[in-house]
Chain A
Amino acid sequence: GENVEQHPSTLSVQEGDSAVIKCTYSDSASNYFPWYKQELGKGPQLIIDIRSNVGEKKDQRIAVTLNKTAKHFSLHITETQPEDSAVYFCAAKIGGSGNTGKLIFGQGTTLQVKP
């Protein structure tokens, strides 16, 4: 079945450094790749997404890149701040299933930004 692999599972960086989280997906029909941030005790919230017809998207300090050929996509956070500390999930929309909105999620990355 469809699968999304996410690495690393934990990531610790100093404030001001960059953080990179990587995901690979298996379903070549996937065309939508969102990233969610989950703060402690809360539900995941969308922070950025990218479609398969775009290679890169940026929103202030966060950016996402997509390599369709290799089935890789990555989240880049620059100038990290303590409030970036959270669990991050990548996801891929299940292709070939019509407009059902079903997503397959990666295993999650716990990011710790040390002051």
Chain B
Amino acid sequence: DAGITQSPRHKVTETGTPVTLRCHQTENHRYMYWYRQDPGHGLRLIHYSYGVKDTDKGEVSDGYSVSRSKTEDFLLTLESATSSQTSVYFCAIARDKTINTGELFFGEGSRLTVL
């Protein structure tokens, strides 16, 4: 257990509304990631962070923004949700001591449905 909490775990929203997903970690590691999981696509990286206020884009970043104002929290925002953003979103961390290994620890996921 890497002390990762995602909220909300489930959300249904309407097209055009803003949505923010929160990832909270208790171990204060530098690296945090947001992935989305879709059938036939596996897990795809949306954005990641390597420290407070330090973020970068992943392979599917369009339509998403992130913020990291505190080490323990990494927020994913959909400014104007679309049906194509219906997905399960996973937050992950890499422990500082093992960043060289590449091992990630995942949260339990947030299921988002955009109607």
Residues of chain A at the chain B interface (Cβ within 8 Å): 1, 4, 6, 9, 32, 34, 36, 41-46, 49, 89, 91, 93, 99-108
A-B contact count, CB below 8 Å?
67
How many Å from the CB of B37 to the closest CB on chain A? 8
Alpha-carbon distance A21/B26, docked complex (angstroms) = 34
Q: Do B42 and A100 touch (CB < 8 A)?
A: no
Does B108 sit within 8 A of A, measured CB to CB? yes
B74 interface contact, C-beta 8 A: no
* Docked complex Cα distance between A12 and B55 (Å): 41
The listed residue (B42, B45, B104) touching A107 by CB distance below 8 A is: B42
| CA A71 to CA B107, docked complex, whole Å | 30
Contact assessment for B101 and A89 in the assembled complex, using a CB-CB cutoff below 8 Å = no
Task: Decide: B104 and A101 in contact? CB cutoff 8 A.
Answer: yes
Residues of B in contact with A, size category? 20 to 34
Please, which residue of chain A has its CB at the minimum distance from the CB of B6? A43
The answer to whether B33 touches A44 (Cβ under 8 A) is no
User: Which of chain A's residues have a CB closer than 8 A to the CB of B101?
Assistant: 32, 49
Say yes or no: is B59 at the interface (Cβ < 8 Å to chain A): yes
Taking Cβ atoms with an 8 Å cutoff, the residues of B that contact A are: 4, 31, 33, 35, 40-45, 48, 50, 56, 58-59, 90, 92, 94, 99-109
| B109 neighbours in A (Cβ, 8 Å) | 41-43
Q: Check A34/B43 contact, CB under 8 A, given A44-B90, A100-B50.
A: no
A45 partner, pick from B31, B42, B94, B106, beta carbons under 8 A: B106
Shortest distance from the beta carbon of B101 to any chain A beta carbon, whole Å: 7
Tell me if B103 and A105 are in contact (CB < 8 A): no
Which A residues are CB-close (under 8 A) to B108?
41-43
Query: A49 CA to B101 CA in the complex, in Å?
Result: 9
In whole Å, how far is B3's beta carbon from the nearest beta carbon of chain A?
13
A103 to B41, CA, bound (A): 14
Ranked 7 nearest A-B pairs via Cβ: A43-B106, A101-B94, A105-B42, A32-B102, A105-B43, A93-B102, A107-B42
CB–CB B42/A101 < 8 A: no
Residues of B within 8 Å of A105, CB to CB, are 35, 42-44
Distance between Cα atoms of A106 and B44 in the complex (Å) = 9
